Structure 1
Amino acid sequence: MKISQKMIRSTKKLLIDVKENQSFLLGLKITDDIEKVMEDKLNLLKYDNNKAVLPSPLLGINSRRNADGEYLSDNTKEKEIAYRAQDWSLTGWDGKTYSGTSYIPYKRYPKKFIQPYEYEMVIFNLNNSDYICINNKFKKGLDLDNNIKFAANLMLEIFKEVDTLILDDQNNLIEKVSIERVNWEILPAGDGIWNQVRNNLEKTSSKSEVKLIKKRLEWLQSKKPTSIKEGLGGYTGYLVFEFKNKDIYIIDSVIYGKATYIFEDEWENVSKLTKKEILDNNLAKDRIIHNNSWENKVSKYI
């Protein structure tokens, strides 16, 4: 059933026209209004059939949980000591300006990471009509209700409406379509990398954090990478520094991450990594925390 509202707390109304064990998609038929939202928020055109896009985490809380997951405080455990980076500068008695970075300790409950859903959106042509859909086929009664509710709320956050697109038992078309993922684009050569990413950073980070991130990016660029790629959609905030002569790719999360990931592989393989695979650190050659020894540790690889 088609719903137009901010969010849902239950799937009862949404699934009222879906039979038990029946397969369905969550999506919308593309109208002029929907097409405008697709262009503005997802950078998708109506004719980009079968291209999957992970919505940007900047679109709202559900988009952020979908792309990045979230950390929740676990207050069943004892508090632990964590550190917060603080950039500082002061004028000494000699009139000179001194600056640096301090790591301030504070107590907090341990954080528990909730994995991202990573639901992508894709355009399909079905029965000569175009639809924008969550790229996941659900089955009433078999899929977790929370997953269906989250996917519906993701659509509502972006489009303000969502519909159930019911599939019959003979329709296997969606599962068989080959999908091209568009997650990265090459930044233009030159010294303008900071200008490419600063706008999003200044919206989501403190002044102190912005200074530290700028310093880190400029240091990486000074090492003359073969290319620099910027994440799109749900990969917004990620940069990949390619050092082709060493078969090394450095992935740095400039908005959300607290670490840098080193991958040793062909770009064709690295580019297919999901954000979950990047963050799980099972495939990375190394994971380097952002702290005072960061430059020395990264230098070993480049």
Structure 2
Amino acid sequence: MRISQSKIHNVDKFLLEFKKDENLYIVLDDIDSYKDRLIQVGFSSLLPTGEKVLPSALFGNVSEFNANGKYEKLRDLPKETYYKTQSATIKAYGKHDVYITKQQPYEKFQVGLTEIAPSIELVILLDDNNEKIVSSDKLVYNENNKNLIKHTINLFLEIFGECVVVDNEFLSRQKTKIKKVSWNILPKGVMPWAKLREPLIDLLDKTAVEDKEDTLRRFEFINSFSPDFVATGNGGFNDYVVFGFEDRNLYVLENSFAGNATYIFNNDWETLSQLSKAEILAEKLQEHRLIHKKYWKRSMKDILK
């Protein structure tokens, strides 16, 4: 499941598809959009596969705790005396100004370590599509580890603003309902991407798509934002797959062929999608039109998250 928010409080709703003692990982799957951020985290500029770092503590409270642990004032113990340096310049008439420094004593509470730092490290790996991702170490889903999983998700959210929860094979467990519309129907039922991928491969076979893996990566990326339904179409967009985000009133029509465009509609998507591409472009009926170029993934994320 893709998570795009500042922080989570209840981790359970993001782990519904995982069984007790299953392995999972928290990952960032869009390295290109975060290269500068990753260097701030501590990675070297080339972001080599296999590089592993403990994130800098400078991003906020979560990363500070992750690196250093939690310290609290020990109010039941006597205060300790500390000194701070103070300096001043004294003007002396008829003489050179005098610059003086002195140590000013003050008292403050002692502090002690109350929680050990989780020290979650991030590592650059290659996924099944041979693309770089940033991943946590393996996390085991059980009651004892819920707080650690929650902390790891919040660490990613504080640093990047998003993350994806994936299984042992680095696949999202997000389930997607297949909605029956007046289009070519995918199998009914709630399916994770690993199963949804199968009918989409059949679609690509029928439309003679050459670079199937590239197309499937685009489908999988859109699906990671948790659409309410998926359907394939007839008419002017018979080469497209529809991903419906009903709560956001967004309907993404993704082209099977690389080098074309993604269309995003509001509202009456079923009627609009029956028109030819020429009719839609002439009337500017789409909300967005994203060409399959370098920044396609970044633009899509900006719209969907």
Q: TM-score, normalised by structure 2?
A: 0.48
Between structure 1 and structure 2, the one with the greater Rg is 2
Higher relative contact order (CA 8 A, sep 6+): 1
Q: TM-score, normalised by structure 1?
A: 0.48
